[in-house]
Amino acid sequence: MTFLQDLTFVLVAAILTNLAAGLGAVPFFFIDEISDRIYVVLWGLASGVMLSASLFGLLPEGLRQGSPLLVVGGAVAGVGLVILAKRALSNYEFHPETISEADFRQLVLIVGTLTVHSFPEGVAVGVAFADLPVGGRGIDVLRFTIPLLAVFVTTAIAIQNIPEGLAVAIPLKTAGLSNTKILGWVLFSSLPQPIAAVIAFYFVNVTRAVLPIGLGFAAGAMIFLVLFELLPEARTRGSQLSGGGRLELAIGLAIGIAIMSPLLIAG
């Protein structure tokens, strides 16, 4: 396969993770409200698969590809970039329902906000496919041998995108937008992922020396997002539940890790 074909394959895989976010809007075609209990379980599930992808997929592969210093440096860079981006956007709260009325500055801020959350996940997909041209152990799809790490990470990101899509959809539903518009904005919210995946895949194939840094970057950024975005959001949503939603969160985490277990064993 040519490099362009490999790049196209990665783009398609990343687009599929983007489309998975749309599943978060699908329930509103049938019901008007999602209970906080289900919401907490879903955020727990997303956290479980993201932590599994980072701790048992990206970081070990990074250490196999390069020195611990490079991997740790990449992880620190990933965390640092997310923190800096969040601080730069700290005075702006993302309300998708206002996008149609936004001026140029608002649109820049909106895209920046979406990128903070989606870009690291796209990088994770891109670097996970780094060995696509090499072949070896993996799963055969359409005459491509997909590395197990790529299957592992892409599955995790796709699953995580579902509750993330739901998080975007809920305020839009409350604001009275139509289901079709809600679906469109949810898909838009994950648009940076395919872009980031292609960029990351290109760079780690042109300069293989950056692969351990890229793997560490993706892992560090995603772990940070889980600890400081996903889990706090789950605790906030579960604050009115009995026990503060801790049981629901634990169930979600357990389900997320269990879903990823077969790929962990295969790896």
Where in the sequence is the domain holding 69, given as residue range(s)?
A: 3-24+56-266
Q: Which of 38, 2, 21, 56 is nearest to 194 (CA)?
A: 21
> Does a structural domain hold residue 253?
yes
pTM for this entry: 0.85
**Looking at the domain assignment, is residue 47 inside a domain?**
no
Question: Could you give the C-alpha distances from 53 to 30, 95, 153, 160, in angstroms and in order?
Answer: 32, 29, 5, 11
What is the tally of structural domains in the chain?
1
Mean pLDDT for 167-175 is 80
On the CB side of 107, how many CA atoms lie within 13 Å of its CA? 6
pLDDT band at 9 (very low <50, low <70, confident <90, very high): confident
35 within some domain: no
Phi then psi for 30, rounded to 5 degrees? Answer: -125, -30
Residue 179 domain-assigned?
Answer: yes
Residue 11 confidence (pLDDT) above 70: yes
- Asked whether residue 30 is assigned to any structural domain, the reply reads no
Mean pLDDT across 54-79: 94
Q: What is the pLDDT of residue 180?
A: 92
* Domain presence at residue 68: yes
Does a structural domain hold residue 63? yes
- Who's near 162: CB < 8 A, 6+ residues apart? 20, 21, 23, 24, 42, 46
Contacts of 90 (CB under 8 A, 6+ apart): none
Higher per-residue pLDDT: 184 or 107: 184
185-230 confidence digits (pLDDT tens): 888 888 889 999 999 999 988 888 899 999 999 999 999 999 998 8
Residue 40: inside a domain, yes or no? no
